[in-house]
């Protein structure tokens, strides 16, 4: 990776301060090659996919399906039939909630989630609860932000139909033991959906090794474009659940009497896909693969450990979540009685971008007994210099209060 791969990192904030971008859990910056690949396609290969016999349509289709193969390889899925393009993790979870729920769940059936879930993995199931009368069972966490695995296994019953848990907490940085979670669930005959929005940018994911039944992630959190994401699903489930939306491309035949659906994965991809964004996503995944997860993990682990050490030098600092051995590249914190919004606003005036608030995890905030936190989250382009700037900025704000 070269610093010049990310031109936005060279800009000055308020025409004065160099940008210190520490909001990567919300979205990552995009390398130049991702933007250039998308621009190249718009300028030279733009045509609707799968529907044309002309040259541009065939070339656009080749690029789109090559991107699907890149995703398959990145996740080590068995087949491209198991790779569904969506708008992101949120849509992927909603797709499973709607389609799996319609096919396999009835009133009184249960889904297991946890106290650390993003709203996407709570509200989606509450919508199903309102429609079909299912129940949410919530796995508790420890005070330091780890799943209570003893309680997790006790939540299973004959009514449990699905487990839906995050791989990495977007607030606490907790890395959940997904292989153990899947093993326990499968012993009870229950499939598992993993929210991988916060794991895919930071660690290798092998869906066959994890053995999860569904896995969701977003392009924009892994150096790719917005509006594109992926749902991996085992063919045995995707074959059995109904489509999410109706329209073009997801059909084989249509009459006023009956419609037959297309083969996988197109059964779940109604309408014109964002075939340019899929090219950008594939380019981003190639960028990450070429950088190498060994290098990414070593760099981010060092950076996170350094940040936790430096932050604890600040008087009144409280860091939420587990220790560094179970911690991914995100740190949520509070400083004394300084409101998180005040801290974030004043750091912004110094060119330092962090996230503040409940981070779409209000139930977790309630569990922690707080309204919100400041959150610094790291990417492969961040440095110890960024951490030092953050700590210096926090000290300046603290002294103001």
Residues involved in catalysis: 360
Q: Nearest-CA neighbor of 135 among 159, 99, 119, 164?
A: 159
Contact call for residues 196 and 167 (beta carbons, < 8 A): yes
Number of residues written out for the chain? 401
Q: How many CB atoms lie within 10 A of CB 272?
A: 13
Q: What is the spatial order of strands in the sheet that 83-86 belongs to?
A: 83-86, 229-233, 214-218, 192-195, 160-166, 110-114, 135-139
Question: At which residue do the structure tokens 């329209």 appear?
Answer: 247
Contact call for residues 86 and 71 (beta carbons, < 8 A): no
Q: How far apart are the C-alpha atoms of 250 and 264, rounded to whole Å?
A: 9
163: DSSP letter: E
Q: Which residues pair with 83 in a beta bridge?
A: 232
Q: How many CB atoms lie within 10 A of CB 302?
A: 11
3-class SS shares of the chain: helix, strand, coil, % to 5: 45, 20, 35
Contact call for residues 237 and 100 (beta carbons, < 8 A): yes
Locate 384 and state its tokens: 């110890």
320: DSSP letter: E
Q: Nearest-CA neighbor of 111 among 90, 132, 92?
A: 132
């Amino acid at each position: 990776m070269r610093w010049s791969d990310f031109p936005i990192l060279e800009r000055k904030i308020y025409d004065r301060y160099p940008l210190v971008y520490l909001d990567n859990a919300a979205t990552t910056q995009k390398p130049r090659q991702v933007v250039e690949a998308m621009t190249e396609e718009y300028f030279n290969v733009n045509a609707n996919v799968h529907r044309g016999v002309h040259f541009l349509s065939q070339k656009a289709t080749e690029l789109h399906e090559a991107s699907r193969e890149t995703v398959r390889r990145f996740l080590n899925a068995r087949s491209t039939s198991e790779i569904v393009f969506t708008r992101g993790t949120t849509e992927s979870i909603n797709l499973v909630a709607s389609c799996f729920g319609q096919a396999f769940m009835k009133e009184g059936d249960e889904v297991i989630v946890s106290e650390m879930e993003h709203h996407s993995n709570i509200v989606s199931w509450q919508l199903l609860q309102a429609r079909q009368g299912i129940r949410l069972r919530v796995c508790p966490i420890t005070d330091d932000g780890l799943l209570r695995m003893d309680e997790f296994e006790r939540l299973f019953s004959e009514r449990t139909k699905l487990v839906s848990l995050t791989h990495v907490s977007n607030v606490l940085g907790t890395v959940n033991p997904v292989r153990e979670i899947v093993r326990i669930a499968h012993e009870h005959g229950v499939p598992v959906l993993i929210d991988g929005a916060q794991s895919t940018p930071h660690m290798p994911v092998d869906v066959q090794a994890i053995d999860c039944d569904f896995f969701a992630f977003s392009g924009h959190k892994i150096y790719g474009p917005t509006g594109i994401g992926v749902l991996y699903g085992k063919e045995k489930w995707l074959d059995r659940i109904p489509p999410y939306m109706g329209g073009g491309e997801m059909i084989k035949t249509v009459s006023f009497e009956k419609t037959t659906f297309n083969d996988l994965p197109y059964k779940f991809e109604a309408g014109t896909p964002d075939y340019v964004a899929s090219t950008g996503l594939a380019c981003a995944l190639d960028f990450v693969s070429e950088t190498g997860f060994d290098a990414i993990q070593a760099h981010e682990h060092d950076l996170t450990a350094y940040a936790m050490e430096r932050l604890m030098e600040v008087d009144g600092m409280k860091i939420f979540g587990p220790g560094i051995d179970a911690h991914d590249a995100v740190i949520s914190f509070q400083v004394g009685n300084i409101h998180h919004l005040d801290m974030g606003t004043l750091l912004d005036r110094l060119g330092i971008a962090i996230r503040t608030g409940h981070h779409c995890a209000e139930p977790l905030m309630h569990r922690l007994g707080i309204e919100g936190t400041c959150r610094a989250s790291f990417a492969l382009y961040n440095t110890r210099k960024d951490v030092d700037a953050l700590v210096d900025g926090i000290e300046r704000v603290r002294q103001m209060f």
